[in-house]
Amino acid sequence: MIEKEVKEFTQKFLKKINRKKIHLVSHFDTDGITALTIFSKTLKKLGRQFSVKIIKQLTENEINLFPKNKIIILLDLGSNNLIKLSKLQNQIIIIDHHELENRKIPENIEIINPHLLNNPENLCASELSYLISKEISKENKTLAYLSIIGMVGDVTDRNINKTKNIIIKDSKVKVKKGLLLYPSTRPLDKTIEFSSRPFIPGATGSYHGAVDLLKEAGIEKTGKIYKALIDLDENEMKKLTTTVLLRFSSEDKTQEYLGNLYLIKFFNKIEDARELSAVINACSKMGYSEIAFMMCMGNAKARKRAEKIHIKYRQYIVSSLRYIDQNHKIQGREYVIINAKNNIKDTLIGTIASILSFSSVYKKGTIIITMAYNNDKIKISTRIAGRNSKSNRNLKQLLDSIMKTIGGEYGGHKNAAGCTINIKDEEKFIDLIKRKLEFEVIKV
Task: Tell me the DSSP string of 124-179.
Answer: -HHHHHHHHHHHH-GGGGGGHHHHHHHHHHTT--SS--HHHHHHHHHHT-EEEEEE
pLDDT of residue 443: 46
Cβ atoms within 10 Å of 63's Cβ, excluding its own? 19
Prior bond to 198 cis, omega within 30? yes
pLDDT < 50 positions in the chain: 442-444
The CATH number of the structural domain formed by 327-443 is 3.10.310.40
Say how far apart CA 396 and CA 264 lie, in whole Å. Answer: 34
Helices 273-285 + 144-153 axis angle, to 10: 70
Nearest to 59 by CA among 25, 106, 21, 89: 25
CA 214 to chain centre: 29
CATH fold of 3-171 reads inorganic pyrophosphatase (n-terminal core) (3.90.1640)
DSSP 317: H
269 beta partners? 266
* pLDDT value for 41: 98
With a CB cutoff of 8 Å and minimum separation 6, the contacts of 325 are none
Pairing of strands 416-422, 409-412: antiparallel
Query: Does an H or E element contain 245, and which?
Result: helix 234-245
> What pTM, to 2 d.p., does this model score?
0.80
CB 420 within 8 A of CB 409: yes
> Which amino acid belongs to residue 249?
S
Closest to 199 in 3D by CA, of 31, 328, 414, 387: 387
Beta bridge partners of 174: 263
- 376, with CB counted inside 10 A (0-12, 13-18, 19+), is exposed
What pLDDT was estimated at residue 444? 41
At residue 22, the pLDDT reads 97
Q: How far apart, in Å, are the Cα atoms of 74 and each of 19, 101, 172, 175, 189?
A: 18, 16, 28, 31, 40
Long-range Cβ contacts of 304-310 (<8 Å, 24+ apart): 306/279, 306/280, 306/282, 307/279, 309/279, 309/282, 309/283, 310/278, 310/279, 310/282, 310/283
| Separation between Cα atoms, residue 35 and residue 130, nearest integer Å | 7
The whole-number pLDDT of residue 389 equals 55
Q: What is the pLDDT of residue 202?
A: 87
CATH 3.10.310.40 placement within the chain = 327-443
**What is d(CA 50, CA 22) in angstroms, rounded to the nearest whole number?**
5
Pairing state of beta strands 335-339 and 330-332?
antiparallel
pLDDT reported for residue 82: 93
Q: Let me know how long the chain is.
A: 444
Whole-Å CA distances, 21 to 9, 25, 65, 132, 270: 19, 13, 16, 19, 37
For the beta carbon of residue 184, count every other beta carbon within 10 angstroms: 25
Enumerate the CATH 3.90.1640.30 domain ranges in the chain, comma separated: 3-171
CA 35 to chain centre: 12
CA atoms within 13 A on the CB side of 259: 22
Contact 215, 189 (CB under 8 A): no
Contact 257, 229 (CB under 8 A): no
